[in-house]
């Protein structure tokens, strides 16, 4: 179905060609498609789950990373075009939420309306923080990633693996921390925001302001935990995604 370029970006763990919906998952900074394997397994066959693989990691490790959300969004949007033949839900965690938002904006500018946008663990675009983790030396960058607790600790104990993954982590942090919202039309798609109550990267108030970026419905759900509350509360988030997979007047239109 998808062309060669789309094949670089899109991964399907449990293909469901007859599913009535698609769910597109955007990883966090330093993350990869494997993080969403459980989501794909849980939602299949009700939804055909696509996970987005950014350049510079795993099977794309020999490609240079993209250091801006705009570049990532342009690449992802183009890669997704062959897959938008049915209602599509976008889900992004942390940096992936900003990327999902920018992809949604590009799709709607092209008269393709997502069924819904799920954003997790990320401040609203209009509430950008002044963060500089991407400017730290390697030790400082590793310390910041460790503190959030979302990355397998064994990675940091293996010098060979660490040398392989650090460039993509730094590039992603650069993209996430330098992202600034450019005002434009509100999304028409509903936005469903999820966040840990003690997330050091996004307070509940900062996440609540996602409501100002859509003309459609908005919901906010909080969970005990920090930035990677998802690791503990994945079943609840997956249920929320599943609940969104039902017909409405917000289907994709092309």
Share of the chain above pLDDT 70, in %: 93
**Does the pLDDT of residue 251 top 60, yes or no?**
no
Catalytic site includes residue 94: yes
Domains in the chain, CATH or no CATH each: 4-128+180-244 (3.40.50.1820)
State whether residue 22 is helix, strand or coil. strand
Catalytic site residue from 32, 40, 94, 168: 94
Residues 6+ apart with CB under 8 A from 57: 32, 165, 168
State whether residue 218 is helix, strand or coil. strand
Catalytic site includes residue 28: no
pLDDT digits (tens, 9 = 90+) for 95-145: 999 999 999 999 999 999 999 999 999 999 999 899 988 989 989 999 998
Q: What is the pLDDT of residue 148?
A: 85
Question: Cβ of 202: how many Cβ atoms within 10 Å?
Answer: 23
**Does the pLDDT of residue 23 top 60, yes or no?**
yes
Tell me the backbone φ, ψ of residue 45, rounded to 5 degrees: -95, 15
Q: If you average pLDDT over every residue of the chain, what do you get?
A: 92
Considering only CA atoms, which of 212, 250, 215, 20 is closest in space to residue 123?
212
pLDDT: which is higher, 212 or 157: 212
Identify any residues that bridge with 196 across adjacent strands, giving them in sequence order.
223
pTM of this structure:
0.92
Share of the chain above pLDDT 90, in %: 81
In order of 18, 46, 80, the CA distances from 247 in angstroms are 16, 13, 21
Query: What mean pLDDT is predicted for residues 188-217?
Result: 98
Confidence of residue 164 (pLDDT cuts 50, 70, 90): confident
pLDDT digits (tens, 9 = 90+) for 36-85: 999 999 999 999 999 999 999 999 999 999 999 999 999 999 999 999 99
């Amino acid at each position: 179905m998808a062309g060669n370029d789309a094949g670089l970006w899109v991964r399907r763990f449990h293909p469901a060609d007859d599913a009535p919906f698609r769910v597109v998952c955007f990883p966090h900074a330093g993350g990869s498609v494997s993080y969403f394997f459980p989501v794909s397994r849980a939602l299949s066959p009700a939804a055909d789950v696509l996970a987005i693989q950014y350049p510079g990691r795993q099977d794309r490790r020999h490609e240079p990373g993209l250091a801006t959300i705009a570049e990532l969004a342009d690449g992802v949007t183009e890669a997704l075009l062959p897959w938008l033949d049915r209602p599509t839900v976008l889900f992004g965690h942390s940096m992936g939420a900003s990327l999902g938002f920018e992809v949604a904006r590009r799709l709607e500018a092209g008269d393709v309306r997502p069924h819904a946008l799920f954003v997790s663990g990320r401040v609203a675009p209009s509430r950008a923080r002044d963060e500089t983790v991407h400017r730290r030396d390697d030790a400082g960058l590793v310390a910041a990633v460790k503190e959030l607790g979302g990355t397998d600790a064994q990675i940091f104990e293996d010098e060979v693996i660490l040398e392989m993954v650090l460039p993509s982590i730094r590039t992603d942090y650069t993209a996430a921390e330098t992202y600034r919202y450019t005002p434009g039309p509100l999304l028409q798609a509903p936005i469903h925001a999820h966040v840990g109550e003690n997330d050091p990267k996004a307070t509940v108030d900062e996440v609540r302001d996602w409501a100002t970026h859509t003309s459609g419905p908005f919901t906010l759900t909080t969970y005990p935990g920090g930035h990677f509350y998802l690791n503990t509360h994945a079943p609840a988030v997956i249920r929320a995604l599943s609940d969104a997979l039902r017909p409405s007047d917000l289907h994709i239109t092309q």
